[in-house]
Amino acid sequence: MGTAKRTGTRRDYPIKGGQYIGGNAVVMLAAGLAIGFASAAPANICAGVSNLGVDNTTGFDGETRIGVEVGEHKFLNSGDIDNADVGSDAFFVDEGSLSISSDTNARPKAGVITQVESDGVWVWLGIK
């Protein structure tokens, strides 16, 4: 039997109990469990963007799973990211906008900046 391989950009993660994560929402991982952005702490890992919403508000840890797309996603620029920052880490200011500043490690990391455009910033989200 050969080594398993996958080239897709979809991952599935177990959801933390008490969480509702909407569709097309940023998904963070806390101790290996998916949580919504509103519950995120700076140390949590960005897993990607949800395919569909999943409700685990009455469930226990890992009772349900959520599909997440990894890859490049576009966000608003808080104003401090420019072309010189391509290849650097970006940090969430809120669920829809990014900054080059971690605000002294107070913001969760989004991912690596891949392109800067006049109307936003492309960032590689997800676990590689």
pLDDT one-digit tens code per residue, 55-90:
999 999 999 999 999 999 999 999 999 999 999 999
- d(Cα 37, Cα 97) in Å, to the nearest integer? 12
Higher pLDDT, 8 or 102: 102
pLDDT of 1 reads 58
pLDDT of 87 reads 98
> How much is the average pLDDT of 87-109?
97
- d(Cα 50, Cα 38) in Å, to the nearest integer? 14
| Count of CB atoms situated within 10 Å of the CB of 75 | 23
pTM of the model: 0.91
Q: Parse the chain into domains and list their residue ranges.
A: 11-69, 71-125
In this predicted model, what pLDDT tens digit does every residue of 15-51 receive, in sequence order? 999 999 999 999 999 999 999 999 999 999 999 999 9
Residues 26, 102, 112, CA angle at the centre, nearest 5°? Answer: 55
pLDDT of 28 reads 98
- Name the strands in the sheet holding 26-30, side by side, starting at the edge strand that comes first in the sequence: 10-14, 65-69, 45-50, 26-30, 33-36
